[in-house]
Amino acid sequence: MQIFTCPSCGARDEREFHFSGELGKVRPNTTGEVNEEEWATYLHTQGNELGAVREVWMHMTCAELFVMERDSVTMEVLSTTPLRKDVS
């Protein structure tokens, strides 16, 4: 078991989190017709980089979406940063 840190809730069991995608992966514009090859690439292609990667994760308990930077080789979590902008 691995411990991930939610920016809102703190350290939690990895089973409470859901991988949402690689950071920077851009969804094709779906307001018009989408090329099948472009759509398939978006859905099924992952970078699978070795080393430090930045990914979007969700803590399913509180629905917080955040960026997790982790080492894909050692699985060490380097940082977690919320995606939301604080309004104050």
Residues that bind Zn ion (CB under 5 A): 6, 8-9, 59, 62, 64
Q: Which residues of 18-30 are buried (b: 16+ CB within 10 A; e: fewer)?
A: eeeeeeeeeeeee
d(CA 53, CA 44): 18
Q: By C-beta, is 3 or 9 nearer to Zn ion?
A: 9
CB 72 → Zn ion: shortest distance, Å? 23
Would you say 59 or 70 has its CB closer to Zn ion? Answer: 59
In the complex, least distance from residue 84 CB atom to Zn ion, rounded to whole angstroms: 12
* Closest CB to Zn ion among residues 13, 38: 13
The tokens for 36 are 């099948």
CB of 23 to Zn ion, least distance (A): 18
83: Cβ contacts below 8 Å, ≥ 6 apart = 56, 65, 66, 67
